[in-house]
Amino acid sequence: MAVKNKRGLGKGLDGLIQNKTTTAAPAAAAAPAGEPLMVELKKIREDKSQPREYFNEDKLQELAESITEHGIIEPLVVTPEGEGYTIVAGERRWRAASLAGLKEVPVIIRKYETPQQKLEEQIIENLQREDLNPIEEAKSFARLKEFVGTDDEVARKVGKSRAAVTNSMRLLRLDERVQQMVIDEKLSMGHARCLLGVEGGDSQYETAQKAFDDQLSVRELEKLVKKMQSPEKPARQKEDLTQYQLQFDEYAGRLTERLGTRVQVSLKDKSSGKLEIDFYSAADFDGLYEKLSRQ
């Protein structure tokens, strides 16, 4: 459950915010910086550039039911914009509050000097809550990279390893239909990484669908992708050597008569093969050596 009912905290917040309700702007002047106050729900709007894009409707309904019973335990973070406020952190709580029929919610108001500062807080807040799906996380890192320039700096900002950040952003190379399957939890991160080895959007999507329909494990999908990367070469049609073998058998028969021992020719193709000459003792070999040397 996304809302944690910390014992005693809800009551404490109620005490903090009871006398700080506002229906007028500017809310920033209604409470000391960092303290929560109540703001009408209709004065708050979502941030269209917010990293999180996907909200599970069933879980939203569960949160709305929890809010109906316990209230909002943790205030939203908002920033002043125009006549109202834009959400920095807490859009899921805001949506659930609307479903629960609340008219106002507790917020903490913050101002940001640059878009980067707001984006960093949004990403970090979502990562700490594990609220982002893998694709949203990858998009967040990519957006932050636009500000800071390198994977290393993104990693430093969000407290992850460079490899984790780089591997996350690689998921954005997947076909959009495959990305949506990851968002819908039809594919795991392991499956998604495997599919990066498939060339072409349509091939990626078809392979992803097969993995989902056939319930392939990550290991099974790895084998399938590897097979696609190195398809078996069609077997070479064996050349008909019959007429050539007959000719070389005739030569072998002449050598058998001349050398006095069995001679056999085995062909690999029409112009190469193996010549076998039998001998049965050291004396036989010496005799053959002498005959061949003379000729």
* 163-177 confidence digits (pLDDT tens): 999 999 999 999 999
Q: Which of 91, 104, 120, 137 is catalytic?
A: 91
Tell how many helices (H) and how many strands (E) occur in the chain.
13, 8
| pLDDT score of 12 | 33
Contact 55, 124 (CB under 8 A): no
CATH number 1.10.10.2830 is the correct assignment for the domain at 134-227: yes
| pLDDT score of 179 | 94
Which among 178, 186, 181, 148 has a CA at the least distance from the CA of 165?
A: 148
Annotation says 121 is catalytic: no
Upper half-sphere CA count for residue 112 (Cβ side, 13 Å): 17
**Is the pTM here over 0.75, yes or no?**
no
Upper half-sphere CA count for residue 231 (Cβ side, 13 Å): 5
| pLDDT score of 215 | 93
Report phi then psi at 112, rounded to 5: -125, 135
Contact 218, 191 (CB under 8 A): yes
134-227: same fold as 9-114? no
Going from N- to C-terminal start, the domains of the chain cover 9-114, 134-227, 242-294
Fold of 9-114: 3.90.1530
Report phi then psi at 26, rounded to 5: -90, 135
| pLDDT score of 36 | 86
| pLDDT score of 237 | 61
| pLDDT score of 8 | 34
Residue segments in the chain with a per-residue pLDDT below the cut of 50: 1-31
What stretches of the chain adopt beta strand conformation (E)? 21-22, 37-40, 44-45, 76-81, 84-89, 104-109, 263-269, 272-277
